[in-house]
Amino acid sequence: MDPVVQVDQAEQAAGQVRGDILVVEDTPASLQLLSRLLTDAGYRVREAPNGELALWSAQAQAPDLVLLDIRMPGIDGYEVCSRLKKMPGLDEVPVIFLSAHSDTDDKLRGFEVGGVDFISKPFQFEEVNARVMAHLKIRRLQQQLAAHNDLLQRESRLRLAEIAHMNRNASASVYCAALVHELNQPLAAIMSNAEAAELFMRMSPPALGEVAEILTDIQRDDRRASELIQRMRELLKKSDPVAQALDLNEAVRQMAALLGSEARMRKVLLETELAPQALTVSADPVQLQQILINLVLNGMDAMGQVVAEPAGGERSVTLCTRRGQAGPGSAGMAEVLVSDRGCGFGANQERLFESFFTTKAHGMGLGLSIAAAIVHAHGGRIWALDNPGGGATVGFALPLAQDREALENP
């Protein structure tokens, strides 16, 4: 037996309504007959004697399917169908036309306005029932598929967020180590200032002017320490990205300062070459840090571990910023290039941006794919090239904020 019919009979046996059908027909006798046959077959039926009432009834409650006469006084079936297709929530409801004419032009017009099928009058009820059943089934399957797709999309977004957070924690641990190191400096300054203040207070008369100055310094250092802790918090917490106007030069400068101790430990020279003018982009600062950390760490990894003192300039990572160079897609962009003098990409070039592609014993293979996802979400581009003289460069470009504004409001 046809599986559709099988399922259908099972539904009927379970006493379930087979679907809510709106029948639109101006001839009272036809309307009543169709309505009775459909009700007997287990459908819930609503009747509408003309187009206006049909639209009103459909809007009040969306039916599962519409059987629609074409020739009616007032608005005809084509018009009813094309209006239904423009109404939110009703655009997907299948419409089957009932027509006394089986003219091809009539049918074409019906399909054009969004109908799914035709039944010629006078009709055989078996045919009506078979077509109604088939279209209800298709509609249900479409709905299930859409719900399933939705679920999959939600799940994959969630996973990406989890993975991005995992990578952030991994890069954050290096960053936090650097921040902790940085914290030493304001804390040490506060301590020595406090000791000095104590001495000034013991003098007779106490040197209150000096003490006041020292207190100002202590406050400044305390603020600096709080900022560092705040940054660590931001990096570790799971929060939605928020874009703000920021200067790429400043972001790169901060990152270089903070990764300085990590670089010294790995005996790598971390240098910056910043564009002379500010490069204002609209970006989430924490995500931007995440890109930069991943790229700098990759550059350092590419040069391996050294035990002996490095030879001058051989082990360096350079962070360079500039306005987009003339060329396709570069105008109105600001670029950051992270270059190293390591092993280069070689044969891995093709796979760098694949998630989970890694050549490192303890790598997750996520750094570059996450950097790429963030760059793309900001409307930018990212690329990777081997340097002619050895080593590799990963660059990314983000739209300059002023240029974007100028484009949007010329």
Ligand X SMILES: Nc1ncnc2c1ncn2[C@@H]1O[C@H](COP(=O)(O)OP(=O)(O)OP(=O)(O)O)[C@@H](O)[C@H]1O
Which positions lie near ligand X, rule CB under 6 A? 167, 170, 294, 298-299, 302, 340, 342-345, 348, 352, 357-360, 363-369, 392
Compute the distance between CA of residue 338 and CA of residue 335 in angstroms, rounded to an integer: 10
Minimum distance from CB of 157 to ligand X (Å)? 20
- Per partner kind, with CB cut-offs from 5 to 8 A, the member of Mg ion, ligand X, none near residue 43 is none
Nearer to ligand X, 200 or 357 (CB): 357
Q: Which residues contact 108 (CB under 8 A, 6 or more apart)?
A: none
Minimum distance from CB of 392 to Mg ion (Å)? 12
Q: x/- site string to Mg ion, residues 254 to 293, per CB under 5 A?
A: ----------------------------------------
Q: Which residue is nearest to ligand X (CB)?
A: 367
Contact positions with Mg ion (CB under 5 A) in 293-332: 298
Beta-sheet pairing, 381-386 with 65-69: unpaired
- Per partner kind, with CB cut-offs from 5 to 8 A, the member of ligand X, Mg ion, none near residue 160 is none
Minimum distance from CB of 55 to ligand X (Å)? 56
- Per partner kind, with CB cut-offs from 5 to 8 A, the member of ligand X, Mg ion, none near residue 299 is ligand X
Question: Rounded to whole angstroms, what are the CA distances from 172 to 200, 207, 337?
Answer: 42, 44, 21
- Per partner kind, with CB cut-offs from 5 to 8 A, the member of ligand X, Mg ion, none near residue 392 is ligand X
Nearer to ligand X, 21 or 382 (CB): 382
Nearer to ligand X, 49 or 344 (CB): 344
HEC sequence for the chain:
CCHHHHHHHHHHHCCCCCCEEEEECCCHHHHHHHHHHHHHCCCEEEEECCHHHHHHHHHHCCCCEEEEECCCCCCCHHHHHHHHCCCCCCCCCCEEEEECCCCHHHHHHHHHCCCCEEEECCCCHHHHHHHHHHHHHHHHHHHHHHHHHHHHHHHHHHHHHHHHHHHHHHHHHHHHHHHHHHHHHHHHHHHHHHHHHHHHHHCCCCCHHHHHHHHHHHHHHHHHHHHHHHHHHHHHCCCCCCCEEEEHHHHHHHHHHHCHHHHHHCCCEEEEECCCCCCEEEECHHHHHHHHHHHHHHHHHHCCCCCCCCCCCCCEEEEEEEECCCCCCCCCEEEEEEEECCCCCHHHHHHCCCCCCCCCCCCCCCHHHHHHHHHHHCCCEEEEEECCCCCEEEEEEEEEHHHHHHHHCC
- Per partner kind, with CB cut-offs from 5 to 8 A, the member of Mg ion, ligand X, none near residue 365 is ligand X
Contact positions with Mg ion (CB under 5 A) in 348-387: 367
- Per partner kind, with CB cut-offs from 5 to 8 A, the member of Mg ion, ligand X, none near residue 207 is none
Minimum distance from CB of 180 to ligand X (Å)? 20
- Per partner kind, with CB cut-offs from 5 to 8 A, the member of Mg ion, ligand X, none near residue 366 is ligand X
Nearer to Mg ion, 51 or 367 (CB): 367
Minimum distance from CB of 238 to ligand X (Å)? 18
Minimum distance from CB of 361 to Mg ion (Å)? 13
Please tell me the count of residues contacting Mg ion according to CB under 5 A: 2
Nearer to ligand X, 167 or 280 (CB): 167
Minimum distance from CB of 313 to ligand X (Å)? 17
Please say whether the beta carbons of 334 and 282 come within 8 A.
no
Minimum distance from CB of 362 to Mg ion (Å)? 10
Q: Which residue is nearest to Mg ion (CB)?
A: 367
Minimum distance from CB of 400 to ligand X (Å)? 26
Nearer to ligand X, 332 or 344 (CB): 344
Compute the distance between CA of residue 148 and CA of residue 142 in angstroms, rounded to an integer: 10
Nearer to Mg ion, 367 or 380 (CB): 367
Please report, as ranges, the residues that interact with Mg ion according to CB under 5 A. 298, 367
